[in-house]
Amino acid sequence: MRRSIRLCAVVLATCLIAVNAHADEVTFWNRVLFEAAKVANTTPVPMSRFSAIVHAAMYDAYNGIERRYTPIFVQPAAPAGASARVAVVQAAYVSLGKIYPTQQSTFDQKRTESLADISSGEASEHSQSIARGIAWGQKVADEIWTWRSGDGASAVLPPFTGNNNTGQWRSTTSPPSSMAGLQFADMTPWVINSPSQFLPAAPPALTSTQYATDFNEVKLMGNVSSPSRTADQTLYSLFWNAGTASYLWNTVALSLADERHNTLSENARLFGLLNTSMADAIIGCWNAKKLYNYWRPLTAIPLAATDGNTATTEDLNWAALFGTPNHSEYPSGHSCISGAAGELLSNYFGENSSFVVTSDVMVGVSRFFPSFTAATDEVKNARIFSGIHFRTACDIGQTLGVNVARFVLTNAFLRRNGR
């Protein structure tokens, strides 16, 4: 497999201009979403929820007029003659205003731009159609927001910093702080039946051969000063940690959707599928993290003398490539969300689709992949070579994400005639 690092700011800028020229209302507001997230410095776990909220609203708004597929939440009941394009704009605009209220002036400007495009030019729409589209988009966004406001994301939970038992996670911050994203463990899912529907088996026993294999790999390859990790492995470990997984996989979907000339209807469904799958993968992942509470390499390697495994050796001075996230190790969150995204996009575009992944943080750096498997395999390696995960957690996380995406594909966003 050929993997290349392309420092190609000029080429990427040209590509983005070409993509923007073909942007529809769904893809336009997708970009507005992630621009707002970057301004707000939104972290990966809540980003999965925010992107699902915005895209569920756009999908149900469009589908409520087209009435081709089953809805995510809001039943199709748009007034006759409502503009589907306007409904999508209003649904995204209202949702983003609720998520990022301090950026309301930016959203006002973007809405003005979108509505101007719709009300003028050769494909301009009637003022009454626009008004009805606004009313329907508003209704959908409000109903989605009310539904998700009770999903448990804002639950105030007792602080949990882990414990000092052998094999158990304890906070990786100083001073110790509560596990990040803990409320996601029991959050109301979008499509899957329950947070524990795809609960994996327990992580490897500390005395097992598998644990020793995982331990020694991350000890060698994930060390901040590892002589065995190549420059490219270091770079892609940093790359996949920069920004959010939601952004990275949405940009892949944007480029492939543009390449295949997706319609507005197709994009409403595609991005709804993608972002609800990733959101449910995170919920399933955190449910397992909370249950198993497995320790991180940062803790396990200095305390190897306590694990009862003769094939592991402690290193009191061991440090990872970068800071370890403050939540338990098993399974890997990035592998869960990337497993879901890779499976969903592979099903939609084909496994052997080639694509480039770009980052909004490491500007000018990109990764080329000849297939979705190649990309998700690199994600797994990136978490190990950065020193924050054992391989089993990455393998199991990817499987969890794949299972979630397959369930979403077969149980939601379906043709209303059952096909």
What does pTM read for this prediction? 0.93
CA 389/CA 392 separation, integer angstroms: 8
In total, how many domains does the chain have?
Answer: 2
Average pLDDT, the chain: 94
User: Is residue 232 located within the same domain as residue 286?
Assistant: yes
Which among 104, 133, 149 is the end of a domain? 149
Q: What is the pLDDT of residue 1?
A: 36
Answer yes or no: is pLDDT of 122 > 80: no
User: Is residue 202 located within the same domain as residue 344?
Assistant: yes
**Over residues 76-99, mean pLDDT:** 97
**Over residues 77-96, mean pLDDT:** 97
Residue in the block written with tokens 């003005």: 112
Sequence-separated (6 or more) residues with CB below 8 Å from residue 257: 27, 266, 267, 270
- Of residues 62 and 4, more confidently modeled: 62
Q: Give the domain CATH number at 313.
A: 1.10.606.20
pLDDT digits (tens, 9 = 90+) for 390-405: 999 999 999 999 999 9
Provide, rounded to the nearest whole percent, the portion of the chain with pLDDT above 70: 94
User: Is residue 132 located within the same domain as residue 233?
Assistant: no
User: Is residue 138 located within the same domain as residue 221?
Assistant: no
Within a domain: residue 43? yes
Sequence-separated (6 or more) residues with CB below 8 Å from residue 410: none
User: Is residue 227 located within the same domain as residue 360?
Assistant: yes
Answer yes or no: is pLDDT of 202 > 80: yes
Helix 333-349 and helix 245-259: axis angle, to 10°?
10
Within a domain: residue 155? no
23 band by pLDDT with thresholds 50, 70 and 90: confident
Sequence-separated (6 or more) residues with CB below 8 Å from residue 236: 3, 5, 367, 378, 381, 382
User: Is residue 127 located within the same domain as residue 56?
Assistant: yes
User: Is residue 192 located within the same domain as residue 107?
Assistant: no
Q: What is the pLDDT of residue 99?
A: 98
Cβ burial of 234 (10 Å; 0-12, 13-18, 19+) is: middle
Within a domain: residue 7? no
**Over residues 127-135, mean pLDDT:** 97
**What are the backbone angles phi and psi of residue 204, rounded to the nearest 5°?**
-60, 140
Which among 125, 149, 173 is the end of a domain? 149
Structural domain boundaries enclosing 70:
23-149
- Pinpoint the alpha helices (H) of 293-390: 297-300, 333-349, 372-385
Within a domain: residue 101? yes
User: Is residue 193 located within the same domain as residue 138?
Assistant: no
CA 339/CA 155 separation, integer angstroms: 27
Of 414, 409, 418, 419, the closest CA to residue 63 belongs to: 414
User: Is residue 220 located within the same domain as residue 270?
Assistant: yes
Of 80, 5, 22, 26, the closest CA to residue 266 belongs to: 26
Answer yes or no: is pLDDT of 20 > 60: no
Of 404, 415, 405, 8, the closest CA to residue 197 belongs to: 404
Provide, rounded to the nearest whole percent, the portion of the chain with pLDDT above 90: 92
DSSP notation for 69-110: B--SSS-S-PPTT--HHHHHHHHHHHHHHHH-GGGHHHHHHH
Within a domain: residue 17? no
Q: What is the pLDDT of residue 16?
A: 39
Within a domain: residue 165? no
Within a domain: residue 418? no
Answer yes or no: is pLDDT of 179 > 60: yes
Answer yes or no: is pLDDT of 76 > 70: yes
Of 328, 342, 334, 326, the closest CA to residue 402 belongs to: 342
User: Is residue 202 located within the same domain as residue 333?
Assistant: yes
Number of H helices, E strands in the chain: 14, 2
Helix 44-66 and helix 264-292: axis angle, to 10°?
140
22 band by pLDDT with thresholds 50, 70 and 90: low
Which among 104, 127, 149 is the end of a domain? 149
pLDDT digits (tens, 9 = 90+) for 205-221: 999 999 999 999 999 99
C-beta separation of 222 from 321 below 8 A = yes
User: Is residue 375 located within the same domain as residue 242?
Assistant: yes
Q: Give the domain CATH number at 115.
A: 1.20.144.10
- Of residues 268 and 11, more confidently modeled: 268
User: Is residue 88 located within the same domain as residue 236?
Assistant: no
Within a domain: residue 29? yes
pLDDT digits (tens, 9 = 90+) for 233-289: 999 999 999 999 999 999 999 999 999 999 999 999 999 999 999 999 999 999 999
